[in-house]
Amino acid sequence: MTTSSNHRTPATAHHADGGHIHLSLREDLDYSTSQDLLREAAAALADRGPADTLVIDCRSLDFIDSVGLSALLEIHRDAASAAVTMHLAHIGPILEKLLRLTGTYTHLTSAATRENTS
C-alpha cells in the first residue's frame, strides 16, 4: 500500500457560539478521506464542552461515494450516542441525490437542516 503525497483532509472543525460544533466538508468525501473525517468528528464530539449540536457544512463538498455516506451515518450514530443532534447544512444536489437514492435523506436531515440548504 502506498500513500499519496496529495493527502487531503476532508473537514475542518471549529466551535461557534450558541452551543454548536461546526465541521466544514471540503472537496471529496470518499474512501481516501472518510477515516480522517471520522477522526475529526470524534475529536470534535469529545471536546465539545456544552455544545449539543453538530453542524456539518456541505457547501464545499464536490463528491461523495458510498464510503463517505457510511461515514456520515456513523457520525450521526456517534453524535446521537453523545446526546448531540447532527445537522447537515447546505446540502448540494450531489449529496441530496445520493441521500434520496439510498433512502437516507430523512434519516440524516431534519426541518432545521433543510432550512439551511439554501
Q: How confident is the model at residue 26 (pLDDT cuts 50, 70, 90)?
A: confident
Helix-then-strand count for the chain, H and E: 5, 4
Number of structural domains, the chain?
1
4 occurs within a structural domain: no
Q: Is the pLDDT of residue 27 over 60?
A: yes
71 occurs within a structural domain: yes
Q: Is the pLDDT of residue 10 over 70?
A: no
What pTM was computed for the model?
Answer: 0.80
40 occurs within a structural domain: yes
CATH of the domain at 89: 3.30.750.24
Please compute the mean of the pLDDT values over residues 5-27 and round it to a whole number: 68
Q: Can you say whether the dihedral through the CA atoms of 27, 92, 71, 66 is positive or negative?
A: negative
The alpha-helical segments, DSSP class H, found in the chain are 34-46, 66-81, 93-101, 105-108, 111-115
5 occurs within a structural domain: no
Per-residue pLDDT tens for 62-92? 999 999 999 999 999 999 999 999 999 999 9
More confident residue, 28 or 49: 28
110 occurs within a structural domain: yes
2 occurs within a structural domain: no
pLDDT of residue 47: 83
Name the residue range of residue 105's domain: 11-115
**Set of cell numbers at residue 91:** 446540502
